[in-house]
Amino acid sequence: MRQAYVSLESPIGNGLIFQVGRWNDLTGYEETDNWKNPNYTHSYGWSIEPTEHTGILGGYVFKESISAKFGVADTWTTGPINARALEGITLATAQPAEGRETFVSILNLVVPTNRPYLGGSAWFVSVNKGYGSITRDETYVSLGGALKTPLPAIKLGTDWDYSTHFGVNGLDTGPAMAIDLYLLCQVSKRLELNCRPEYVRGAGLGALSGAYNGAVTPLRKVFALTGTLQYDLWRNVLSRLEVRWDHEADGAESFGGNVLGRPDRRNETTLAVELTYRF
């Protein structure tokens, strides 16, 4: 169960809202549920972001165009319900780190819908700080949003993610950064074309490509391009055809291979078909 929380509303000003329990992370352009995103596969930026928290979250709407949330949680990212932050070198020796809570925040800015051209565009800035890896605190920053264009059928999105200590399987692999761009085109009532170019940089990111072998792997700079054709075959059914290309720009081989930890290619191409029924 990824979310289980109680919502409380206090009649202060425009209304101060609290969430107590387990809730999705505040930030990022993409959702954990991929059917809510423009593309079937997740971006590298999503892989850097935290996903869920257990704690208390407060939110306030200052005006129609400005809102903010701030929370205190037990964990920096997903884990068992009520799991606390851990300290220690390995999972076997890690002990609960009382007083090492995670702090999360986000500021949302929305252009009023009555503004010409850019009306309805939305932007956010988010900062998380807490025990992200097993060994030390992690600071995570994200900037992004969605831009309405003069052409109603075309939308643009962007997301920049940065983490000071990206952790993989309990190892601190150093900083990581990802830039994602989104181009969404509504061709017809049923047909939609979505494109996502992205760039990711950071030590140890080979773990995200399946090349992890217990040590820091050489995947450090990657370009990726994803194209998704979405067609509504039936009501409540989401159908997609997607092609994705990943390229290792550091000269190392970080994809493929028949033995775990021994990649043999600099490029990887993925073809995916998705059918999702929503009810």
Taking only the tens place, the pLDDT of each residue in 228-272 is 999 988 888 889 999 999 998 877 777 877 777 677 788 899 999
Q: What is the rounded CA–CA span in Å between residue 18 and residue 95?
A: 30
- Residue 203, pLDDT score: 55
- Residue 77, pLDDT score: 64
CB 155 within 8 A of CB 181: no
Q: What is the rounded CA–CA span in Å between residue 166 and residue 132?
A: 7
- Residue 265, pLDDT score: 83
Type and span of the H or E element at 45: helix 44-48
Q: Domain boundaries in the chain? A: 4-277
- Could you count the other beta carbons within 10 Å of the beta carbon of residue 89? 11
Task: Report helix, strand or coil for 207.
Answer: helix
Q: Please give the DSSP secondary-structure letter assigned to residue 43.
A: P
CATH topology classification for 4-277: Porin (2.40.160)
What's the average model confidence in pLDDT over 3-15? 86
Q: Given a cut of 50, is residue 33 above it in pLDDT?
A: yes
Q: Given a cut of 90, is residue 63 above it in pLDDT?
A: no
- Could you count the other beta carbons within 10 Å of the beta carbon of residue 85? 22
The pTM is what? Answer: 0.82
- Residue 216, pLDDT score: 43
Q: What is the rounded CA–CA span in Å between residue 68 and residue 97?
A: 28
Token pair 């997609």: residue: 240
Show the tokens assigned to 250.
Answer: 């550091």
Show the tokens assigned to 103.
Answer: 């702090």
Q: What is the rounded CA–CA span in Å between residue 21 and residue 3?
A: 8
Position with higher pLDDT, 100 vs 12? 12
Task: Name the band, by pLDDT with cuts 50, 70 and 90, for residue 186.
Answer: very high
